[in-house]
Structure 1
Amino acid sequence: MTVDSLEAAGLTRMDDSNIAAFLSNQRVGVLGLPTENGPYMIPLSFGYDGDSSLYFTFVGGSMSRKQQLTEAAEDAAVLVYKVESMFHWESVLLQGSIEAVPESEWDELAAVLDTAWRPQMFKDAIEGGDIAVYRFHIDEREGLRHAGLPPGFEPE
């Protein structure tokens, strides 16, 4: 089935403003990095600048696999989604590039980075750990949503 064929069942494409609003209200997604054996998928908390970039922090230093793959990646993908029920969900797929953000720019990004959701253990690790900040520049974006009603509940 294609997206076009599912539009009759209530699936809709999100425009750029809907995608921006969705990303502004979400804080977690999945980062996909290329490897020889297929994508390496990482759960991720992020801050969104409201325009063209996500920002995220890794804790653990240069020996972590995710950081090594991120440093080597030219292109990556991020999937952000929200599911309320099988009849009401949204997802945004982003394609883009990743770059390390120099520490000299971190203060400028504090407001964006502070919006990222983090479990307490990561907050504690960031305060005393070896961290790196990355910018995911969004080159392509596609958003889909379904806000339909369950079968038998359609208005007459």
Structure 2
Amino acid sequence: MDVSNTDGRELRGEPMDEAAVDAFLHERGVGVLSLADGGDAYGCPVSFGYDGEQLYFVLLRFGEDSEKLDFAAATETATFAAYDFEDEHRWRSVLVRGPIEPVPEDRTEAVDEALFDNAQFASLYPQGEPMTERTRYRLVPEEVTGQQGQGRTL
């Protein structure tokens, strides 16, 4: 992948093999989930769990509204990006694309295990506004790609 940065210099990446992608997803724990509703897109930072096959998310609703949950319900194919950047030579990124769907109630324990194994959770609980929904979602990978800095890994 050749991409020009703002200085006009080219950054070249090397593909990550399946084992490197798998290891990266197990260690990362945070990324950006991109959802869509028709022609409207919504990208949001999220914590995630990974069990070696699927990505898992917990989407929260506080009060009455949750743009994230509304978009998740409308999305047929989601894209998730996890990345790590140290400098122009030492970086990695993984993109996962596939359907996103609520996790059935009988699978929530396995989801929670995957989340606790590698998700990194931020404190998102606003004072005075109660959490009204906590829905677990999974992204079933149909396409996975990984790139890393040329000749150097983190």
Q: Quick check: TM above 0.5?
A: yes
Code of the residue aligned with 1:135 in structure 2: it is R
Aligned counterparts of 1:43 and 1:87: Cα–Cα separation in 2: 24
Segments of structure 1 that go 5 or more residues without pairing to the other structure are: 150-156
**Deviation, structure 1 residue 38:** 4.5
The CA RMSD over aligned residues, in Å, is 2.7
Structure showing greater Rg: 1
Give the match for residue 65 of structure 1: 67
Give the match for residue 57 of structure 2: 56
Aligned counterparts of 2:58 and 2:143: Cα–Cα separation in 1: 22
Match for residue 34 of structure 1 among 13, 22, 36: 36
Q: Is the 8 A contact 2:2 2:11 kept in 1?
A: no
Code of the residue aligned with 1:103 in structure 2: it is E
**Deviation, structure 1 residue 118:** 0.6
Code of the residue aligned with 2:69 in structure 1: it is Q
Identity %: 33
Aligned counterparts of 2:109 and 2:151: Cα–Cα separation in 1: 43
Segments of structure 2 that go 5 or more residues without pairing to the other structure are: 5-9
Match for residue 89 of structure 2 among 87, 90, 96: 87
What is the DSSP-based 3-state SS (H/G/I as helix, E as strand, rest coil) of the residue aligned with 1:133? Answer: strand
Code of the residue aligned with 1:80 in structure 2: it is A
Q: Specify whether residues 134 and 9 from structure 1 end up closer, same or farther in structure 2 by C-alpha distance, changes over 3 A only.
A: closer
Give the match for residue 7 of structure 2: none
Give the match for residue 139 of structure 2: 136
What is the DSSP-based 3-state SS (H/G/I as helix, E as strand, rest coil) of the residue aligned with 1:90? Answer: strand
Task: Give the total of aligned pairs.
Answer: 142
